[in-house]
Structure formats: structure tokens, C-alpha cells
Amino acid sequence: MAKNSSNSTNFDKYLCFNMSYIFLYVERGIFVEGYILNSDVLCFTQDIDDEKKVLIVEKNKKFNIDADCFKFIKKCCMVYGHSYTMQRQFVIDIFNYYIKTPIIVSDYNMIIFFPTAAPNSKECIWISYNNIDRYVKEKDYTKIFFKGGKVINISTSFSTIDSQITKCIKIEKYFGNLIWEEEFNYEGLPKESDWGYDVGGNGWGNAELQYYTEKNPDNVYVEDGKLTITAWNEAYDKNEYTSTRLVTRGKKDFLYGRIEVKAKLPKGKGTWPAIWMMPTESVYGDWPKSGEIDIMEHVGFDQDTIHGTVHTEKYYWKNSNQKSAQIKGEEVSDTFHTYSLEWTPKVIKVYFDDTLYFTYQNENSGKDAWPFDQKFYLILNIAVGGAWGGQQGIDADVFPQTLEIDSIKVYDLGIKVEDK
């Protein structure tokens, strides 16, 4: 798996890969009974019926080997070319994960296992992050669904499992490729190679009051290392306000990855800025059937609240079951904050700075709940008024208002997908 070149020095510091050593190690049969962790392993633990054996669960079978569980993962790390201690220290140094540290057993194949308890305890279960499809909180246990259909119930709390998976996602991100970076180090209108415009003033389905203009430097401009979208209180084509809605549709389309947008928001009643995503091709039908991902929404009448949301046919406001969450953010209109999305085939997670506050899991119930297996494009805009933004009226005197973007970064998280 390719990794971000900026991380190479730190990584190489800990991975002393010696192929001749590995071949010698394997040839002598030092690893347990000729068996090694691989991509088919779902989990393993000390067998409660025979404490001298490790119970291994693979996708299609389970079996025992004569081993100590903790020594087993250490020896598997050695076979892949590095020590357990070295791999643990790498994760600690980069991510500060001292407790229940996930282990990259194989950096080449990015095989990651995480412990559910202290690694040397007999109660610890080592779980393959790569093979998890989804996980569900039950009354007294956590249910984990693996790819291929196998399900296990463990007594480990849901919060612990969620925390461990979040750690693994961040580790995976570290090795992902930076596939697009925009730092706006030029002056003028946004680059046509990256950005297009949605144009018009038809209310946009929400009774909004702005007209979105195209290539108007009064509404959008790049200068001093920042992209600025400005909403004005001015009449235009039967609309009371003007603004811009930038889109990457057909220029920068994404399927899975991590998107980070560093932004400073407008303020005042009636403003409704958003950083969000829509499907490049609505293959499952019109909105909301093909989905929508809101990385950040903010309404001026609730100044300190940030919203993260997904819209699908099964879950949206008309069904009274909207999937969303909120987080309080300080000085969002005075300082820059980072609004991030992590999107995998398993889960969508939304962050404010480094704080995870919204999680939406793929429940494998069909496209009505998970249309997020297609390419989406990025949207930046300020709406004015509307069903939500104008819910408590509009303060016309606060305009003009700006949405400032300092940078955009997109990582692929190392997820390989076929072109769609």
C-alpha cells in the first residue's frame, strides 16, 4: 500500500525490514505451527476451554493452535519483518495510542488488528479491523458483523469497540495517499480545472432567497491564500441576495476517502453555509434516493452549533428519522476550523477539528439506506434564508457575509475501488 511520502521518514524509523531474516525465520518454522495471521483471519483469542491453545476464527472456519495468544501476535509480527514492540511504539509515537494499541501486523498488506482488553490478558480478543463490516450495540454486548456474513457477540462495550475502530481508521488514513490538495496559492477566480458553478435563483428546493452567480469576482475570489465566497444583500433576477455555489462535479469526484476542509464561517441570522457532497450520477434516482453527505452545515440563528448529516431514501426528514448530529463550536466565524469526513464502505464519520461527533454505519439493508457506493462531488456555498436558514428571519444588515476556505485535502485512505 502506498503511503504519504511526508510520513516516510517516521515510518522507516521503526520498520527495519530484512528479507533474509524473514526467510530464515519462516524456513526454521519458528512461527507457530507454520500458521501466520492473514487477511482471512477475523479474530483470535486464548481458548477459554484450553488455556494452552489459541482459538482462531477465519472467514470459513475456526480452529485451535498450541500457543499463547500474546506470544502468537508477537511472532506473527516478526514473520512480517518487524517486532511487536516496534510496531506498537510506532503507533504510540505517531498517534499517542498508549492503551489497547492497535497493531499493524503487515504494513505491506495493511493488516491491522486491535485488542479488546490489555493485550497480555486472557480476556483479550484480537479483532481484524480490515474484515469488519459493521458493529451494533446490544443491551449487554456488542455484535460485530464481518465481511462474508460471520457474526460474533462479545462482552466488550460498544464504546470500546467504536473507539478502537476509530483509532484504526486514523492509522489507515496515515498511510493513505494525498490525492488532492488545494491551498489557493494564486489570485483570481477558482481554477476551472477543479471548480464549476451551480447557477440560478429558483429557491433550490428550500425557498432560499439568493441567486447563485457564475464567475462573478464579487461573489467568489481567490486571494491571499484563501478562497472567499461572499453573499450580498442585492437584487438580482427577482432574487434579494447573490452568492456562489462552487462544485467539483465532473472535475474532482470521489468514492471513499478522507476530506478535510479548513474554513471560517459567516454569521448572522439568515446565513446558511455548507460544505457538502452530492452524487456525480444519481444512479439510484432523484434526491434523496442517491444520497447526500453534509460535512458541515451552519445556520446563523444558532451561531455555536455545527451539523453533520446524511440523507437517504430510508433516512431523511420527511420520514421523521433524519440521521444527523450536532457539536458546539467556539468562534467558528472568527477563526479557522477543520471540517472532515471519513468515508469507507463500512461507515461515514464526520469530525469538527479532531473531534468525531457523527457516525453513520452501513447496515447492509440496501441502497435505500446506503447509496454511498458511488462517486460524489464536493460543494461549497452560502445560502440565504430558506426553510431552515431563514427559520428565525433574516438580518439584512449583517451582509455581506463570507465563507472563507483556507485549504482542502483529500486522502484515499488506501481503499482500492474499481472505476464507476
Can you name the CATH fold of 5-176?
OB fold (Dihydrolipoamide Acetyltransferase, E2P) (2.40.50)
391 phi/psi in degrees, rounded to 5: -60, -35
CA distance 228 to 220: 6
Q: Which of 58, 260, 292, 404 is catalytic?
A: 292
Residue 7 has pLDDT above 60, yes or no: no
Contact 4, 10 (CB under 8 A): no
Q: Do domains 5-176 and 179-411 have the same CATH topology?
A: no
pLDDT at 310 over 50: yes
Q: Of the residues 208, 297, 313, 404, which is catalytic?
A: 297
* Contact predicate 389/270, CB 8 Å: yes
Q: What percent of the chain shows pLDDT beyond 90?
A: 73
The predicted pLDDT at position 40 comes to 86
What band does 418 get if pLDDT is binned at 50, 70 and 90? Answer: low
| Catalytic residue flag (residue 297) | yes
CATH architecture, domain defined by 179-411? Sandwich (2.60)
Confidence of residue 3 (pLDDT cuts 50, 70, 90): very low
Q: If DSSP states are collapsed to H, E and C, what string results for the chain?
A: CCCCHHHHHHHHHHCCCCHHHHHHHHHCCCCHHHCCCCCCEEEEEECCCCCCEEEEEECCCEEEEECCHHHHHHHHHHHCCCCHHHHHHHHHHHHCCCCCCCEEEECCCCEEEEECCCCCCCCCEEEEHHHEEEEEECCCCEEEEECCCCEEEECCCHHHHHHHHHHHHHHHHHCCCEEEEECCCCCECCCCCCCEECCECCCCCCCECEEECCCCCCCEEEECCEEEEEEECCCECCECEEECEEECCCCCEECCEEEEEEEECCCCCCEEEEEEEEECCCCCCCCCCCCEEEEEECCCCCCCEEEEEEECCCCCHHHCCCEEEEEECCCCCCCCEEEEEEECCCEEEEEECCEEEEEEECCCCCCCCCCCCCCEEEEEEEEEEHHHHCCCCCCHHHCCEEEEEEEEEEECCCCCCCCC
pTM of the model: 0.66
Residue found by looking up cell 488514513 in the block: 173
pLDDT of residue 301: 97
How many CB atoms neighbour CB 81 within 10 A? 18
Tell me the per-residue pLDDT of 345-363, one tens digit each, with 9 for 90 and over: 989 999 998 788 999 999 9
Please give the Cα distance from 420 to 414 (Å, whole number). 17
C-alpha–C-alpha distance, residues 353 and 402, integer Å: 20
- Arithmetic mean of pLDDT, 224-241: 96
Residue range 357-395, pLDDT digits in tens = 999 999 999 999 999 999 999 999 999 999 999 999 999
What confidence tens digit (pLDDT) does each residue in 154-203 have?
Answer: 999 999 999 999 999 888 877 777 899 999 999 999 999 999 999 999 99
Per residue in 45-71, pLDDT (tens digit) is: 999 888 899 999 998 899 999 989 999
Band of residue 2 on the pLDDT scale cut at 50, 70, 90: very low
> What percentage of the chain exceeds 70 in pLDDT?
90
Q: Taking all residues of the chain, what is their mean pLDDT, rounded to a whole number?
A: 88
pLDDT digits (tens, 9 = 90+) for 79-127: 777 789 989 998 998 889 999 999 998 765 678 999 999 999 999 999 9
Distance CA 183, CA 181 (A): 6
Structural domain boundaries of the chain?
5-176, 179-411
Q: Would you give the distance in Å from CA 229 to the centre of its chain?
A: 25
Residues 247 and 279: beta-carbon distance below 8 Å: no
The answer to whether 148 and 137 are in contact (CB under 8 A) is no
Euclidean distance between CA atoms 17 and 99, whole angstroms: 26
